[in-house]
Amino acid sequence: MVAKSGKASRGVSARPSAKVGQKSSAPSGTDDTPPGAARATRPGKSAAGKSVADRKAIPAEPFAGRDASWIEFNRRVLGEAEDATNPLLERVKFLAITASNLDEYVEIRLAGLLQRTEDGHAEAGYDGLPPARSLSILTAEVHRFVADQYRCWNRMLLPEMERNRIRLLTWTKLTPGQRKTAQTYFQREVDPLLTPITIDPAHPFPRVLNRALCLAMLLRPKRRRSGPSVLGVLTVPRALSRYVRLTDCEGGCDYLLMQDLIARHLGGMYRGYDVLASAAFRVTRNSNLYFEEEESRSLLESVRSELHNRRKGDAVRLEIAADAHPEIVERLRVNFELEEEQVYRAEGPVNLARAMFLYEDARRPELKFPAFTQRPFTLSRTAADIFAELRQRDILLHHPYDAYDPVVDFIRQGAQDPRVVAIKQTLYRTSTDSPMFQALTEAAAQKEVTVVVELMARFDEASNIHWARNMEDAGVQVFYGVVGLKTHCKLAMLVRHDEDGVTRRYCHLGTGNYNPVTARFYTDLSLLTSDSTLTDQVHMVFNYLTAHAEIADYSPLLVAPLTMAERFLELIRREGDHARAGRKGQIVAKMNALLEPSIIQALYAASQAGVAIDLIVRGVCILRPGVKGLSENIRVRSIVGRFLEHSRIFHFANDGDPEVYLGSADWMPRNLFERCEVVFPVRDEAVRERILGEILPACLADTVKARLMQADGSYTRKTLAADQTPFNSQEFLMQLAEGKATGDSMSGRVLAGPGK
């Protein structure tokens, strides 16, 4: 992509370094020049002393490209849409997810690269490429990906949908009755919401909202048929579905695209014009959220202001119907100041993300994954309530296989129990009708309630501002965390005067957001505990979040940006020391993304020492596995399936005395140095055994939804021998939750534990 000259900077904010308050020059929204890169030596140097042959085997750039890795991840999701073994409507959903993922990627990552290029940054990314070169390569790759999306839609999904009597029709294919239905719907529900605009000196080009579906028309005044054509623009209200249900016949349904319905009625809206051509289009804008906190009266007002400014971001992508008239395309391109390579032709509906409507609207359970019953939680016979239970043992919940209700009930009981005198909780993202909000606000009338709200949870800022205001009005003490750092840790603490006269803290520590909705399809882990070794330190973390009261050591918790990065490095190095001494060294780590160079270098060194390393990384990974002389003992796999893999688990074998950690942080610069994060140890032996004997082995045994990363950054499925049975980890864990399978299925796959 060619950078445009003369444009103003799009507002690059400074990145906080590992120490709060210090800033570096790396632009926000890129993560391509992370703080860890400056602190750590390049991993290629760690191979000094190896043979010449070994050194030649090490690639010039020991890191893969972050953006290329992201494209590979979205291709894995697209692979689920293409996979005929998945139910049809689930495939439609996967395709919609790829489009939603791509939207966020374009308006954040691709926009950030464009921003860096225009601002003159030349620093190379992880893969050694400068921003301008990366931008050019990735733009071409995104075009190929879009072509593959529509190929999947047109050649795979649409024909299969039609065979299953779910039809997407054009106006000419409608029956007379369907046309009457569509016209009536347009007149009653659609036309009153539309505002047609003609572009002329009195009516400048309207401010097109980010990612809003629009129609552009070439119009010629009927009174001046020989004159030049003018452009008309119409925005489709977001409240309207992009698919109009026409017929709900037995076992099937017909739909019409909203853009086609509106296009059919343009003549009635532009009565003084001949409509020469029309095309649906959509503009994506730079949505980097940035601000300088020291120049703002408050963090809340800063985010409120930026939410308004976000609407005014520069355009970075134009999506338009592939058959659009060239003059329409050119006028829009010039108006939005885009290069030709920033124009994307849609060989189907503009905005495939809205195809999610078909998944939700079609009442065809046989075309979706079979219903799944979550495992309910029950108290022990000796426990009168959750507090008595937690005084006996820790509780581990593996969502969505285990119901999320106990987490909600934990907060509700804390709100209702008169013995609970204080509640503290962090909120990053939650649902719009969260039962936790009601519990917290009701509790505020009778006890001390403190909530740390993260206002800058990307794309959820408006919702979080709403929650913060309402909780403050109800008497909740609301804080916004440490200035310059997002609060991403998942913590809740109840302080209770127990029946025995002792005041105890009861805590929930998790890997996922306090959101009962996403807990149904995100895999996450919740630990409920009264272990004072943990709860006392959770108390200190809350003091850090509300009073900035920092202490030197939060052990056994790992707290970012204070102690987490260095402690992870120590744990990785310890496994290397074990291996070099002839003892067993093993690391199994599960996370969403792996980007931090210092962590990767430590893993490379551990691999060279003989440590067996298995990484389960759902998304972006810039580590190169299996490279001779560098990472021969490292394997990386990604699992993309029915549920979104979101839990973070870190296992260090420690020569038979294993340590297992769970938490909210990935091995990324932003998690380790730019956010308040907490990773916590699993101290209860039974809980640890479940992780080492059930959860991690199932992930490592997956041969159906797991893809193995190659040294060049590509992913392949594992080839099974003729006598091997395919194994789907998520299916197994669902069967285990429903009592249709037993832990014996994982026999022989248990990771190293005490005495093993």
Say which residue the tokens 């025995």 belong to.
Answer: 500
Query: Nearest-CA neighbor of 549 among 562, 564, 531?
Result: 562
Q: Is 490 helix (H, G, I), strand (E, B) or coil?
A: strand
How many angstroms separate the first and last alpha carbons of the chain? 55
Q: Give the helix/strand (H/E) hosting 449.
A: strand 448-453
Per DSSP, 324 falls in state -
C-alpha separations of 513 from 83, 491, 673 in Å = 30, 10, 20
Per DSSP, 556 falls in state T
Q: Is residue 488 within 8 Å of residue 454, measured between CB atoms?
A: yes
The span from the CA of 69 to the CA of 263, in Å, is 39
The span from the CA of 140 to the CA of 138, in Å, is 5
Catalytic residue check, 488: yes
Q: Is 727 helix (H, G, I), strand (E, B) or coil?
A: coil
| CA 408 to chain CA mean position, Å | 23
Q: Choosing from 488, 508, 578, 651, which is the catalytic residue?
A: 488
Q: What is the dihedral of CA 572, 573, 578, 584, to 10 degrees?
A: 20
Neighbours of 20 (CB within 10 A): 17
Neighbours of 178 (CB within 10 A): 17
Q: What is the DSSP string of 249-293?
A: -TT-EEEEEHHHHHHHTHHHH-TTEEEEEEEEEEEEE-------G
Q: Quick one: 236 exposed, middle or buried, by C-beta within 10 A (0-12, 13-18, 19+)?
A: buried
Per DSSP, 348 falls in state S
Query: Nearest-CA neighbor of 600 among 222, 54, 66, 55?
Result: 66
Give the catalytic positions in this structure.
488
